[in-house]
Amino acid sequence: MTANLYLNSIYRATEGEGALIGRPQIFVRVQGCAIGCANCDSKDTWNFEVSPSCHVADALVQILALSHPKLRRVSITGGDPLHPKHVPGVLELARELKSRKFFISLEASGTRIVHEIFDLIDFINFDFKPPSTKTERTLENQAKLIVELAQQYPGKFQIKSVAQDERDFATVLKCHELVEEKLGAAINFDWCLTPVYNPGEAFPLERFKLILQLNENAGGVFRVIGQQHKWVYGPNEKEV
């Protein structure tokens, strides 16, 4: 093992969002992200310079110490695990974990598809960025990547989108329609909407009600799933 990882933390917790909600797993959180979502709840993972690199072998030791004969699931998150700086280390870690029969999911920012990693892992959590993230990504480009996922990785991914207001919902719905148009068929994968629950914010009950109602009015094309870990521990707690 020769590659390095830039790590924020490694910890065991229960998945709190999306289609895999409720599954205990070991989180490997890389340090460094250049995307800059305005409503990101992990801004402490943005800076590439604050974390010294470590060998993949050292990270593997930590993962194995947290694992259990019946808990062989790892989520690689960030930061942005698919940033070019992270790819060599993430790829080597994924190979080592697969050789030890771990199930691997990865949190992808939705900016790129890295086939050498996606071919190897078990599940891809792929983001669609709506206007509230202020990432200025075009609808057409995001839809194109989702179509590519649907064609090349059927059955091994979900789309995840945060939703803060009606504008966010309308944009996500427009992308959903565009993807169906490009595929020439109804979407048959999970597309999960997460009502935004910002750090330091009281539980946004009215926002949840709004997103639920908008989805029902649109025919229920999305799965609306909140962030369970924030309900239990609050929006500021880390490593839960």
Q: What angle do CA 35, 37, 40 make, to 5 degrees?
A: 120
Q: Tell me how far apart the alpha carbons of residues 174 and 140 are, in angstroms, rounded to a whole number.
A: 10
Model pLDDT, residue 29: 97
SS3 of residue 216 by DSSP? helix
Contact assessment for residue 27 and residue 20, using Cβ atoms and an 8 Å cutoff = no
Model pLDDT, residue 198: 87
pTM of the model: 0.96
Residue 162's domain is classified under what CATH number? 3.20.20.70
Model pLDDT, residue 137: 85
Instruction: Tell whether the torsion through CA atoms of 98, 100, 104 and 108 is positive or negative.
Output: negative
Report DSSP letters for 93-146, one per residue. Answer: HHHHHHHTT-EEEEEE-SS---HHHHTTSSEEEEE---GGG-----HHHHHHHH
Model pLDDT, residue 100: 98
The total domain count for the chain is 1
- Whether 169 is in a domain gets the answer yes
- Whether 21 is in a domain gets the answer yes
Model pLDDT, residue 51: 76
- Whether 179 is in a domain gets the answer yes
Model pLDDT, residue 206: 97
What is the maximal distance between C-alpha atoms in the chain?
A: 52
CA distances from 83 to 77, 87, 121, 203 (A): 11, 6, 17, 32
- Whether 240 is in a domain gets the answer no
The segments of the chain whose pLDDT lies below 70 read 1
Model pLDDT, residue 67: 97
**Domain span including residue 71:** 4-233
Percent of the chain with pLDDT over 70: 100
SS3 of residue 55 by DSSP? strand
Model pLDDT, residue 221: 97
Q: Tell me how far apart the alpha carbons of residues 240 and 233 are, in angstroms, rounded to a whole number.
A: 8
- Whether 111 is in a domain gets the answer yes
- Whether 29 is in a domain gets the answer yes
- Whether 227 is in a domain gets the answer yes
Contact assessment for residue 31 and residue 48, using Cβ atoms and an 8 Å cutoff = yes
- Whether 239 is in a domain gets the answer no
SS3 of residue 71 by DSSP? strand
Instruction: Tell whether the torsion through CA atoms of 200, 205, 211 and 212 is positive or negative.
Output: positive
